[in-house]
Amino acid sequence: MSLKEFYDHHKNFSARNLSEYDLSPGIRCKFDLLIKIIGNSRTFKNAIDLGCSGNSLLYILENVQNKSYYDISALPLKQYSKQNPLCGDIVKLPYKNNTFDLVLALDVLEHVKNDDLAISEIKRILTQGGFAVITVPHKMKYYSKQDKIIGHYRRYEIEQILGLFQRYNFKYLKHFGVYGILMKMSLLQSINPKKTEKNLINLRNKYRSNLIFRKIWNLFVKLSSTLMKIDAKYYSPKRMMNMAFIFLKL
């Protein structure tokens, strides 16, 4: 099975849609933390979300003039049909040099066998002075069956990410925790991955079709994501489950 086929058939990725921000406490937590950092920093002329899936942060950013979406799986790209999204591999991007002043790659590099080449491509398409915003799962000691199920080649150490980007002459600006100890509950998903996938599909369907459930779930997501943001703020960075990094292309 090719990498594209893997993600096309993996419902956890291919079935995602723009309602994930409302459905998932984890996605709400991550997006809110990132919006706080980059959502009001400046206005970006051209931005791209690499590995956007069907629930792109870029879609809800208000300070971007022109938005591009790119993913290895074609199915979730239907969410952005009016924006002419492109399907392909991050290690061979179909864009000209110095095209974007903002590149997002959220939980993407761990899915790429040759992450070094992916970073070189990110640098190539970024303008001078452009920003790269990256999130990755943290700590290889946390690598589990769940990581393998969803296509992770690795988890990263902070120093490892810093070294990879500094190798390509990026200037490090900031890093911060995204998921703390509460995200360890996701390890339970690896016990029965097929059931987990089925439950996610059922949740999406029920949220869309049942108004009363939607209102209750909205409250749950609001409360849970708030707790996750508090957890990310105060939990030790060295023990975080997921980290965000912001780099500048010199």
Q: In this model, does residue 195 exceed pLDDT 80?
A: no
Q: Are 91 and 117 in contact (CB under 8 A)?
A: yes
The residue segments making up the domain with residue 100 are 3-249
pLDDT at residue number 83: 87
Q: What is the pLDDT of residue 191?
A: 65
Q: In 3D, which of 85, 93, 95, 87 has the Cα closest to residue 2?
A: 87
Rounded to 5°, the CA angle 174-137-182 comes to 100
Question: What pTM was computed for the model?
Answer: 0.92
Residue scoring higher pLDDT (6 or 75): 75
CATH number, position 38: 3.40.50.150
Q: In the numeric block, which tokens belong to residue 63?
A: 């300070």
Q: Lowest-pLDDT range, 12-26, 47-61, 148-162?
A: 12-26
Least confident of 126-140, 182-196, 203-217: 182-196
- Better pLDDT: 125 or 195: 125
Determine the pLDDT at residue 190: 62
> CA 23, 73, 114, 50 torsion: positive or negative?
negative
Domains: count for the chain? 1
